[in-house]
Amino acid sequence: MVLNFLKIILFLLLNIFRGISLFLIIILVSFWDFINDQVYSYFYSRFEREYLREEEKIVGLYFSIHTFEKMQRRYLKEFYFLERFFYLNGVRYLIITDNSLNLLDKDIDILIVNDARYIPISTILKIQEYSQYGKVIFTYQSLMYNQFKHKYSSELLSNFGLYDIKFVNRRYQGFSYRHFTKVILSRGYCVEYYTNSSNVLGWTFEKTPFLVKHQNYYFIAENTFCIENLANPIIYKFNVYLLNSIVDDLIDLKRSEKSFEFLFKDIEFIFPIEFILKNPKVRRHFYTSKSMKKILEQLEKLYLSRVSKLRNFPNKKLTIGLTKIYLKDFNYTNLIEYDDVKFYLLMKRNRQGGIEDYYSYRIKSIVSYNPLVVVVGIEDYICSVVLSEMPDDFELEALKAQALAARTYAIKKRRRHKDYDLCDKPHCQNFEGEKQETFKSYISTFSTSGQIIVNKNQPIDAVYHSTCGGITANSEDVWSSKIQYLRSIKDYEKDMENAYCSQSPLFKWKIEIHRNKLQKILSTTVPYILNQPFEGKIKNITFQKNSSGRIQKLIIQTTKRTYVAFKEDSIYLFSEDLYFSLLPSSFVERIEFSGDRVIFYGRGFGHGVGMCQFGANTLAKKQYTYIQIIQHYYSNVKIKQIYEGFEF
């Protein structure tokens, strides 16, 4: 009886133990991220405090989670080289994110903010608090008014007490040697600067501010810490002098002279997805936010899928004519192999060694050098084309739809040229190479790998455009032939004014052209397009619409003759270069004559046939999948996998 009692007790204890274990496992799984963050924060903070006890000077590098999530690959690359700059110069640095602002205290001698576009208000307040005893440098070109008059950071500047400061960098024309130094920045800009022990000032050619000191803040109008500029030895030294001017003896001058030689390898400069995934120093930044952890997981999964497909389907490739590239314009080229992938790097360095322009391509081989023709994998081609045709800040499902359209278009139009399949211009599809890739383009391409749009088992002519204006066009509304899958659709739910593409800046437009200017334009375009001499003064311009609201027939009356143009050709009569029309689309609603001006009112941007890109983005926000988006814009189509028996 005692034995049975002991067995019962043992049984109960065992079940209690199992229950407690199961409960703990459930708690651990449910709160894993929270527990992981707490443990990480505890040990990381403890380590950092030990690190800060040393007497050496410390630089704080602000890593913006918000910027990282918006500018992913580019921001990672710039931050990587910012770290490398301090590492090579033997400077101890501490990475500070929006989640670890408690580390920003008196032990940090200077804080460097390498991108000022996306800073949350909580971080701004903490930086303001820190500036009472520490110094802050803001370094990014978003702090300037650029040549397109885009102004990014006026609010940020006012938060730190600066108002009406215009940062301008002028393109350089040459050199004249004076008591200060002229520095050529990347992309051909030039500034002038001098340094002394108490202050740092800088001007452009026209004496507008390049560097401004205000209290403990230092604002630089061009990101001198980006790799394109750091490749310039003068700018590299300038950064050393700049930092030493602000924090005494921060960088050893003798060491900095040697460190420049080891600044970067070619593969680091290219900074491909493979390098990011295989480099622990870069990978660690993905753990700063949950959304970036998910992106890392997606990238790793698709990377393995890509490697598998390359091994199993090595012949899925295209020959591309790089017609925009003239080898004589580049003073450095190199063919690099990394992780079984070949990269062709072309670099244009300015007179001081800075990188003014560069291209990099994932290639399988080089066919010829004059003209430059390369063989590329079709998915590598699409990965670049996606962002050449659609903005990176669009929704992922919209980008996937764009990847399908671009892949289908490439296969449909291959062998378009005599010596290669496709060119790199918009004539085929705009192809900028590997440097155009981002995490989103990589995910949208390889998560739809091999998928194309077909009708009757043949790839369709997957045309697309920016903005339809509320209704897409039939193929025959714009071109000559009727294509059954390119049908006009109403791209809205209730009314056209709230169409899916209404967020586009060219959803509705108004274009004014001076009569004299229009007279001059028509005197060139009419003979070229209509093959008739243009005579007389403009009296009137009228038009007839087709069923989708586009121009069917355009009639131009002058004091001597009447000219008639049809469909899409009509808007190219209003072109200054015989390539780009002054009118965004043929979806013209009315034309008015007002004094010495002709005013065109219209909708949309592009030919209006097929997929509307801004509309696709709205549909993605409404939880449409990329397949639903495709089937919304193209009639009676299916998705087919080219890696499964499709002739290519």
Which pLDDT band, with edges at 50, 70 and 90, does 630 fall under?
A: very high
Closest by alpha carbon to 375, among 436, 320, 322?
A: 320
Specify the pLDDT at position 188. Answer: 61
Q: Are residues 255 and 326 in the same domain?
A: no
Q: Render pLDDT for 178-191 as a digit per residue (tens, 0 to 9).
A: 334 566 666 566 66
Q: Are residues 95 and 227 in the same domain?
A: yes
Domain boundary among 264, 285, 310: 264
Greater model confidence, 131 or 235: 131
Distances (CA, A) of 482 to 116, 216, 444, 468, 478: 51, 67, 31, 19, 10
Distances (CA, A) of 533 to 270, 514, 524, 525: 52, 21, 9, 10
Range of the domain at 298: 267-450
For residue 367, being part of any structural domain is answered with yes
pLDDT tops 50 at residue 148: no
CA separation for the pair 462, 407 (Å, rounded): 9
Which pLDDT band, with edges at 50, 70 and 90, does 511 fall under?
A: very high
Specify the pLDDT at position 201. Answer: 46
Q: Are residues 188 and 298 in the same domain?
A: no
Q: Are residues 260 and 272 in the same domain?
A: no
Domain boundary among 264, 286, 307: 264
CA separation for the pair 462, 468 (Å, rounded): 15
Specify the pLDDT at position 179. Answer: 39
For residue 90, being part of any structural domain is answered with yes
Question: What one-character-per-residue DSSP string does 66-122 give?
Answer: HHHHHHHHHHHHHHHHHHHHHHHTT-EEEEEETT-GGG-STT-SEEEES--SS--HH
Minimum mean pLDDT among 251-265, 361-375, 380-394, 615-629: which range?
A: 251-265
Specify the pLDDT at position 183. Answer: 63
pLDDT tops 50 at residue 536: yes
Q: Are residues 350 and 257 in the same domain?
A: no
Specify the pLDDT at position 593. Answer: 92
Q: Which sign does the torsion angle of CA 226, 232, 235, 241 carry?
A: positive
Which pLDDT band, with edges at 50, 70 and 90, does 306 fall under?
A: confident
Minimum mean pLDDT among 6-20, 118-132, 318-332: which range?
A: 6-20
Please count the other Cβ atoms lying within 10 Å of the Cβ belonging to residue 529.
17
Q: Are residues 220 and 304 in the same domain?
A: no
Q: Render pLDDT for 186-206 as a digit per residue (tens, 0 to 9).
A: 656 666 655 443 444 454 444
The residues pairing with 92 across neighbouring beta strands, listed in sequence order, are 58
Minimum mean pLDDT among 226-240, 304-318, 511-525, 543-557: which range?
A: 304-318
User: Containing H/E element for 237?
Assistant: helix 233-246
Specify the pLDDT at position 357. Answer: 86
Amino acid at the residue 211: L
Report phi then psi at 564, rounded to 5.
Answer: -125, 130
Specify the pLDDT at position 180. Answer: 47
Q: Are residues 197 and 346 in the same domain?
A: no
Which pLDDT band, with edges at 50, 70 and 90, does 499 fall under?
A: very high
Minimum mean pLDDT among 220-224, 342-346, 626-630: which range?
A: 220-224
Instruction: Decide: residue 459, CB within 10 A, 0-12 exposed, 13-18 middle, 19+ buried.
Output: buried
Question: What one-character-per-residue DSSP string does 355-406 give?
Answer: EEEEEEEEESEEEEETTEEEEEEHHHHHHHHHHHHS-TTS-HHHHHHHHHHH
User: Containing H/E element for 566?
Assistant: strand 562-566
Closest by alpha carbon to 454, among 223, 644, 199?
A: 644
What mean pLDDT comes out for the span 293-317? 77
Q: What angle, 0 to 180 degrees and rounded to 10, lies between the N-to-C axes of helices 439-446 and 65-88?
A: 120
What mean pLDDT comes out for the span 64-85? 85
- Give percent of the chain above pLDDT 90: 40
Which pLDDT band, with edges at 50, 70 and 90, does 49 fall under?
A: low
Which pLDDT band, with edges at 50, 70 and 90, does 54 fall under?
A: low
For residue 147, being part of any structural domain is answered with yes
Greater model confidence, 221 or 91: 91
Please count the other Cβ atoms lying within 10 Å of the Cβ belonging to residue 141.
23
pLDDT tops 70 at residue 143: no
In whole numbers, what is the pLDDT of the chain averaged over residues? 82
For residue 471, being part of any structural domain is answered with no
Greater model confidence, 16 or 443: 443
The domain that contains 72 carries what CATH number?
3.40.50
For residue 293, being part of any structural domain is answered with yes
Which pLDDT band, with edges at 50, 70 and 90, does 219 fall under?
A: confident
What mean pLDDT comes out for the span 135-153? 54
Specify the pLDDT at position 166. Answer: 47
Specify the pLDDT at position 38. Answer: 67
Q: Are residues 336 and 242 in the same domain?
A: no
Q: Are 618 and 503 in contact, with CB atoms under 8 Å apart?
A: yes
Distances (CA, A) of 502 to 392, 605, 609, 632: 19, 12, 17, 17
Which pLDDT band, with edges at 50, 70 and 90, does 46 fall under?
A: low
The separation between CA 476 and the C-alpha centre of its own chain, rounded to angstroms, equals 34
pLDDT tops 70 at residue 171: no
Q: Are residues 438 and 571 in the same domain?
A: no
Find out whether the peptide bond into 371 is cis, omega within 30 degrees of 0.
yes
Q: Are residues 244 and 296 in the same domain?
A: no
Specify the pLDDT at position 152. Answer: 42
| Total structural domains within the chain | 3
Tokens of 409: 């278009």
For residue 422, being part of any structural domain is answered with yes
3-state secondary structure of 58: strand
Q: Are residues 299 and 259 in the same domain?
A: no
Q: Are residues 274 and 222 in the same domain?
A: no
For residue 459, being part of any structural domain is answered with no
pLDDT tops 80 at residue 417: yes
- Give percent of the chain above pLDDT 70: 81
Q: Are 287 and 99 in contact, with CB atoms under 8 Å apart?
A: no
What mean pLDDT comes out for the span 317-324? 90
Greater model confidence, 472 or 51: 472
Closest by alpha carbon to 53, among 113, 13, 94?
A: 94
For residue 93, being part of any structural domain is answered with yes
DSSP state of 286: G
Domain boundary among 215, 234, 264: 264
